[in-house]
Amino acid sequence: MMEQQNYSTDVLVIGSGAAGMMAARAAADKGANVIIADKSLIGRGGATILAQMTVAVALGEQEEDNPEIHFNDTMEGSRGLGDPEIVRVIVERGPDVIREVEGYGVRWARTPDGKRSQVVSPGHSRKRCVYVDILNTGGATSNGLRKAIWKDEKINRLKNVMITRLVRHQGKVIGAVGFSMEEMVPVSISASSVILATGGLTEIYERNSASANMTGDGFILAAEAGAELRDMEMVQFFPIAHLFPPLVGIDPIMWDPFRYKLGGRLLNGEQEEFMNRYAGEVAGKYTATRDMTSYAIFKEVEAGRGTPHGGAYLDFTMVPEEKLREGFGPVIDILRSQGVDLTKEMVEVAPMAHFMLGGVRVDKEMNTSVEGLLACGELIYGMHGANRLSGNAITEALVTGRIAGETAGASSNEKFDDLVKQELETEWEKLQQFWHPKQVAKDETATLEFRRRIQKLMWDEAGPLRSEELLADAQSKIKDLQKECKEFALAKQGKYALAAVEKLEAYNMTLLGDAIIKGAIARKESRGAHTRLDYPEQQEAAVSSSFTLNQDHEWEFSQIELNGK
């Protein structure tokens, strides 16, 4: 019998970002025993820890606001694809959840009168976004949530455990299997309910704001278990990510919070303001939503009015130095030490893959279409449709995590520990075959280089600007890469074999790339983040793309008319 680790629990949470930690807290509050497993350190992988500033919630502390207005703004921003049921539950529970995490030590910034600070961000019609710090809200949120789950005996934390498969019995999810990355030992976890909180997939693109492990495993785990995915072609591109000059140790999307504070001007290569021609943005203000700004920058570049490196200029030179210093704090000196003096010069910015808009379809209790399986956080579909408003993602993660934990913690499904253990043996054999195929087409150890080829293909041919011709080419190339991925072997594994993880992630990336391309080909319109050069108009009827995975690992695809939703 091989060495293995076998666990049994009431609720298994996979992923420990804001959604996963919140789900673990909520399930334990219901009295359930919980295991939270992550392929990274607990609370330190994924997007949450990277998030910068905004958390949108209708507290109404700086001006009149309520969840109904937040609902309307979000639905409008979604360009007709938001799911009203999901949007409503998130905006309605947002205020309570924001107060709850403050109890765990997430100190929302306050104005001198003691009220929580709230700022406007594009697409929100009110001062709605709370924050801890302009660049560190995600880190502070992770810290607070880690404290909230750390000393609870009901919550067992498994770090560096990659989940590779959900186990099903009679159509129901009964646990999960994977391996401990530190010891390369197989792991099984039997559970009454499984919550997927594995975040997004933007690592699939060459230019991205993600951490390297955001490879979309959860979409594949869910789809392999039979769950339906929606609108996988909808990937948000963050418009003003840093492009040039090269900077070290600076988050490429950090320009956003500074624009909330200081405005800044977006100029084309001819140093003219152009946003007023696309989204009616008033010069020096920051009001256009992300889909419109990304589109506008690409159109300027396409028209030959881009900057030398293919983006737009971001200009703060008209802001007086003391205001700049007040706004940027120590960041202004960090930039200066790298040769960028914002009082005198502009930087170049351009779009970058930032957030997965589509995902696993859930109901308002966060149940997927498969019994025993729930999902939450960036992994789910429904809140953002074709365009996410700034600040709506952390709120989504916190609220949907809490709801998923409550639902799972209150259920009492039967457990099948032995079946899950048995499945581990089968899975471990499959993994060995995947890592070291018997018929090796090519002995290849450079998994990172292989991943770069996927990223480049997705960026060049299925990225921000799409067309039938590019997508058709991408479709055949991604299939070739998928085949190649199955056929190359890893070098002999040592302890903590990172390449084993990277190969699994690369395979998931090819499958997800295929789904994105399929959806993008079928969606013959431009809507929100999805821009088709050959179909520039938005169609009147809104359709949602539906994906399921069949036995042969091929996507079954259809479009569902949303009837004006």
Ligand X SMILES: Cc1cc2nc3c(=O)[nH]c(=O)nc-3n(C[C@H](O)[C@H](O)[C@H](O)COP(=O)(O)OP(=O)(O)OC[C@H]3O[C@@H](n4cnc5c(N)ncnc54)[C@H](O)[C@@H]3O)c2cc1C
Cβ neighbours around 372 below 10 Å, total: 24
Q: Measured at CB, which residue is nearest to ligand X?
A: 17
Binding mask 200-239 for ligand X (x = CB under 6 A): ---------xx--xx--xx---------------------
Please state, in angstroms and rounded to a whole number, the distance separating the CA atoms of residues 340 and 249: 14
Phi, psi of 446 (to 5 degrees): -85, 70
146-162 residues labelled b (16+ CB within 10 A) or e (exposed): bebbeeeebbbbbbbbb
* Cα atoms in the Cβ-side hemisphere of radius 13 Å centred on 542: 17
Contact 189, 180 (CB under 8 A): no
Using H for helix, E for strand and C for coil, what is the string for 160-197?
CEEEEEEEEECCEEEEEEEEECCCCEEEEEEEEEEEEC
Q: Is 53 in the site for ligand X (CB under 6 A)?
A: yes
Task: Find, among 49, 94, 88, the residue nearest to 401 by Cα.
Answer: 94
Question: What are 367's strand-pairing partners?
Answer: 374
H or E, element range at 121? none
Q: Which is nearer to ligand X, 392 or 526 (by Cβ)?
A: 392
Q: Which stretch binds ligand X (CB under 6 A): 18-26, 77-85, 332-340, 410-418?
A: 18-26
Under the binding rule (CB under 6 A), the answer on residue 163 touching ligand X is: yes
Considering the rule CB under 6 A, would residue 359 count as an interface residue with ligand X? no
Do the beta carbons of residue 284 and residue 264 sit within 8 Å? yes
Give 17 or 306: the residue with its C-beta nearer to ligand X: 17
Q: Write out the binding residues for ligand X, residues 122-141 only, by CB under 6 A.
A: 137-138
Q: Given the rule CB under 6 A, which of 195-203, 326-334, 338-346, 470-478 is the region that contacts ligand X?
A: 195-203
CB of 468 to ligand X, least distance (A): 30
C-alpha pair distances (Å), 26 with each of 23, 152, 197, 281, 312: 5, 12, 14, 42, 44
Side chain identity, residue 101: V
DSSP 524-562: -S-BTTBEETT--SPPSS-EEEEEEE-TTS-EEEEEEE-
Does 197 contact ligand X by CB under 6 A? yes
Interface with ligand X, residue 372, by CB under 6 A: no
Nearest alpha carbon to residue 191 among 28, 34, 29: 34
User: What is the closest distance, in whole angstroms, from the C-beta atom of residue 443 to ligand X in the complex?
Assistant: 26
Whichever of 253 and 342 has its CB closer to ligand X, that residue is: 253
- Please report whether residue 94 would count as binding ligand X according to CB under 6 A: no
Those residues with Cβ within 8 angstroms of residue 483's Cβ, 6 or more apart along the chain or in another chain: none
Least separation in angstroms between residue 147's CB and ligand X is 16
Least distance (Å) between residue 131 CB and ligand X: 8
Judged by CB under 6 A, how many residues of this single chain contact ligand X? 45
Host H or E run for residue 284:
none
Amino acid at 300: E
Q: If binding is defined by CB under 6 A, does position 18 make contact with ligand X?
A: yes
CB of 289 to ligand X, least distance (A): 14
In the complex with ligand X, which residue's Cβ is closer, 54 or 546? 54
The reply on whether position 186 binds ligand X by CB under 6 A is no
Comparison of 235 and 543: residue with beta carbon closer to ligand X? 235
Instruction: Report the nearest approach of ligand X to the CB of residue 25 (Å).
Output: 13
Compare residues 388 and 527 and give the one whose CB is closer to ligand X.
388
Q: Is 351 in the site for ligand X (CB under 6 A)?
A: no
Which residue's CB is nearer to ligand X, number 16 or number 307?
16
- Does position 17 bind ligand X by CB under 6 A? yes
Q: Does 506 bind ligand X (CB under 6 A)?
A: no
C-alpha distances out from residue 261 to 129, 142, 370, 425, Å: 13, 24, 45, 55
Question: Can residue 394 be called a binding residue for ligand X (CB under 6 A)?
Answer: yes
- Segment near ligand X (CB under 6 A); pick from 51-59, 457-465, 482-490, 545-553: 51-59
Q: For helices 468-487 and 447-462, what crossing angle results, to 10°? A: 170
The mark string for 21-40 relative to ligand X (x by CB under 6 A, - otherwise) is ----------------xxxx
Work out which of 13, 24, 27, 51 binds ligand X, going by CB under 6 A.
Answer: 51
**Does 77 engage in binding with ligand X (CB under 6 A)?**
no
Q: Which of 440, 19, 2 is nearest to 180 (CA)?
A: 2
Interface residue list for ligand X (CB under 6 A)? 14-20, 37-40, 45-48, 50-55, 137-138, 162-163, 197-199, 209-210, 213-214, 217-218, 251, 253, 355, 377-379, 391-394, 397
